[in-house]
Amino acid sequence: MAHEIGKETGCLSKPPRSVAIIGCGLIGQAWATVFLRAGMRVTLYDAASGLVEQAKAQVIERMTEFARFDLVTHETLERAPAHIELADTLEDAVSAADYIQESGSEALDVKIELTREIDRFAAPHVVIGSSTSGITASRYSETIKGRERCLVVHPINPPHLVPLVEVVPAPWTAQSAVDTVHDLLSAIGQVPILLNREIDGFVVNRLQGALLREAFHLLDQGVASRKDIDKAISDGLGLRWSLMGPFETIHLNAPGGVSDYVRRFGPMYRDMFADDPDPVDWETVVDAGLEADLTASQPLSGISAAQKTRDSALLRMLAQRSRKANAASKD
Q: Which of residues 17-36 bind its own copies (CB under 8 A)?
A: none
* β-pair partners for 152: 130, 168
* β-pair partners for 84: 42
135-164 positions binding its own copies, by CB under 8 A: 156-158, 161-164
CB 83 within 8 A of CB 111: no
How many positions of this chain bind its own copies (CB under 8 A)? 100
Regarding 96 and contact with its own copies (CB under 8 A), the answer is no
Distance, in Å, from the CA atom of 12 to the CA atom of 146, rounded to the nearest integer, reads 16
Helices 51-68 and 74-83, axial angle in degrees (round to 10): 170
CB 150 within 8 A of CB 137: yes
Has 166 been annotated as catalytic? yes
Which span sits near its own copies by CB under 8 A: 47-55, 76-84, 136-144, 245-253? 245-253
Regarding 287 and contact with its own copies (CB under 8 A), the answer is no
Which span sits near its own copies by CB under 8 A: 40-48, 78-86, 94-102, 241-249? 241-249
Distance, in Å, from the CA atom of 54 to the CA atom of 132, rounded to the nearest integer, reads 22
Distance, in Å, from the CA atom of 89 to the CA atom of 320, rounded to the nearest integer, reads 47
Residue of 33, 38, 19, 41 whose CA lies nearest to 65: 33
Give the CA distances from residue 131 to residues 21, 192, 207, 234, in Å, rounded to whole numbers and listed in that order: 10, 13, 18, 27
Regarding 206 and contact with its own copies (CB under 8 A), the answer is yes
Q: Shortest approach of its own copies to residue 45 CB, angstroms?
A: 23
* β-pair partners for 115: none
Q: Cα dihedral sign for 250, 255, 259, 260?
A: negative
Regarding 297 and contact with its own copies (CB under 8 A), the answer is yes
Regarding 245 and contact with its own copies (CB under 8 A), the answer is yes
Regarding 38 and contact with its own copies (CB under 8 A), the answer is no
Candidates 48, 107, 187, 207; binder of its own copies (CB under 8 A) is 207
CB 254 within 8 A of CB 264: yes
Q: Shortest approach of its own copies to residue 186 CB, angstroms?
A: 12
- Residue 250: helix, strand or coil by DSSP? helix
246-265 positions binding its own copies, by CB under 8 A: 246-248, 250, 253, 265
176-205 positions binding its own copies, by CB under 8 A: 191, 193-197, 199-201, 203-205
Q: Shortest approach of its own copies to residue 260 CB, angstroms?
A: 14
Regarding 175 and contact with its own copies (CB under 8 A), the answer is no
Q: Which of 85, 148, 166, 291 is catalytic?
A: 166
55-94 positions binding its own copies, by CB under 8 A: 65-66, 69-71
Q: Cα dihedral sign for 114, 116, 120, 126?
A: positive
Regarding 44 and contact with its own copies (CB under 8 A), the answer is no
Regarding 54 and contact with its own copies (CB under 8 A), the answer is no
210-239 positions binding its own copies, by CB under 8 A: 210-239
Regarding 277 and contact with its own copies (CB under 8 A), the answer is yes
123 or 233: whose CB is closer to its own copies? 233
- Residue 84: helix, strand or coil by DSSP? strand
- Residue 26: helix, strand or coil by DSSP? helix
303-322 positions binding its own copies, by CB under 8 A: 307, 310-311, 314-319, 322
DSSP state of 98: S
List, by residue number, the catalytic residues. 166
